[in-house]
Structure 1
């Protein structure tokens, strides 16, 4: 276990629900979900101030850059998947959650190494089994890949893009799936179960194939070996970490946090934290339109 005294505030903020931390073009890009805000922090010395890139009138779960189109994003937003332009306008590809029997929203998302965008959904009221995982292919078609979960978090992928990690946060379980060449699951196993009073949230895979997971409600980040062994616990000075990012230069872990639901926000809730670690990961993959 690593003590929280080694964790520092990297960029001060007051984000209600910071999430979706990704390293893109030498900067940290992330969202404040319920406020519909897309933010960036430049990797500069001294005090760092988050800058707003866009503000939507719907919740914004996560984004990924679009290959060859600077300033354009694919976004998990509102009840579906959309393309987001530099002016902040949305071009909807699909809104599958409009058909949900209970009110839901899109949650975390990321591109796999093949340039496909994956994002999960969740019910506002916690209705069991109402969350799904979607894959957006190169042609813009959106497919429900998994269902029957509640709060879908992650996803994350190994370097080859043939292993998918996804958390059912309410159940406290991280599942791992083998994927075929088209991105369809061919097998499932329980990779890890969080039994410490918290829930697995945002995740990333490092260059050694280890999985780093923010543990919401427990103020920690866990690192798991590819065989599922729990290797490390990093304690944090605030209880609600939401996502993790390992810049490719190595040596640090960046962690978004939230003050959503806290009657008395503890410590640097809502800020981006940083911890010294011996790990790195590739930059965020871009969505490749075909």
Structure 2
């Protein structure tokens, strides 16, 4: 494999996160959690970035995804919001107590939106795993988590993966893709000793391999479905945060990063999006939210 790493989008995001390919607009949606920004990067036919547009919010935004009827859904400080194509808020679900916010989120195979919540100070057990269905009803599925982060599903939809960042573990659950239900208790798929830093966001490829960004680890890792490490790709920034396969063929791997607490002189590219070329695989399509 002859992958190389270049900068796809140069930006000093405080905590760039959650890239997702929007096939309806041929753009990439992502967020700056700390900056309270929803970002959309336009691409040309060869997937070179043309421009990045930011929609600012007065609160943290953990993740976003396209909606099947147009617009986006966002996991935010108080719960969830829906925005139309112009960025106007059309739906809002406040389900979190004070001191807790939504973090990473992703749409499941049935078009329902899953999000992890965490305390602002990452207090142990104060977070949880939430499900937002197509009727905009929010349910706490799994309480007692600390910093649930990257989410993803196996190609057949019968395994659900979740990163617990503070525990430095990747968990795997049995999953019913038709009813959007966890069907088993979690097992540890990747143990803490696989990381020197903190596992963060993830993407699943068409073979069922997991690609995990490592915050404070300057890397993205590929793991087989049994949790065995396949490869590690070094990145020229200390704080990679998440990754996604983008483009019509889902064959470009984009990795977001964070500039928070890093000196710009020594880390001038922190907060940018990095492109891993020739990752040797293609990604799984992430459905639009059905609500």
TM-score of the aligned structures, taking structure 1 as reference length: 0.90
The reply on whether 1:222 has 2:221 as its aligned counterpart is yes
Q: For 1:242 and 1:60, how far apart are their aligned partners in 2? A: 14
CA distance in 1, matches of 2:273, 2:66: 21
C-alpha displacement at 1:201, in angstroms?
0.7
Structure 2 contact 173–183 (Cα < 8 Å) conserved? yes
Is the 8 Å Cα contact of residues 197 and 218 (structure 1) preserved in structure 2? yes
Structure 1 unaligned runs (5+)? none
Q: Deviations over 1:178-198 (max 9, x none)?
A: 123422222121110242321
Could you tell which deviates more after superposition, 215-224 or 24-33?
24-33
Q: Which runs of 4+ in 1 moved over 6 A?
A: none
Q: 1:191 aligns with which of 189, 192, 205?
A: 189
Shift of 1:91: 4.1
CA gap of 1:226–1:47, structure 2 versus 1, over 3 A, is closer
Question: How many pairs does the alignment contain?
Answer: 282
Q: Secondary structure at the match of 2:35?
A: coil
CA distance in 2, matches of 1:191, 1:74: 29
Distance 1:73 1:252 in 2: 22
| CA shift for structure 1 position 243 | 0.9
Alignment match of 2:286 (pick from 256, 276, 284): 284
Query: 1:75 is matched with which residue?
Result: 74
Structure 2 residue runs of 5 or longer lacking an equivalent are none
Residue in structure 2 matched with residue 30 of structure 1 by the alignment: 30
Is residue 114–residue 132 contact of structure 2 (8 Å, CA) maintained in 1? yes
Q: Which residue in the other structure is 2:140 paired with?
A: 144
CA contact (8 A) 2:154 2:208 kept: yes
Pairwise mapping of residues 1-290 of structure 1 onto structure 2 (< 5 A)? 6-25=4-23, 26-44=26-44, 48=49, 50-67=51-68, 69-70=69-70, 72-98=71-97, 103-180=99-176, 181-187=178-184, 188-195=186-193, 196-247=195-246, 248-263=248-263, 266-276=267-277, 277-289=279-291
Change (3 A) 1:2 1:79: farther
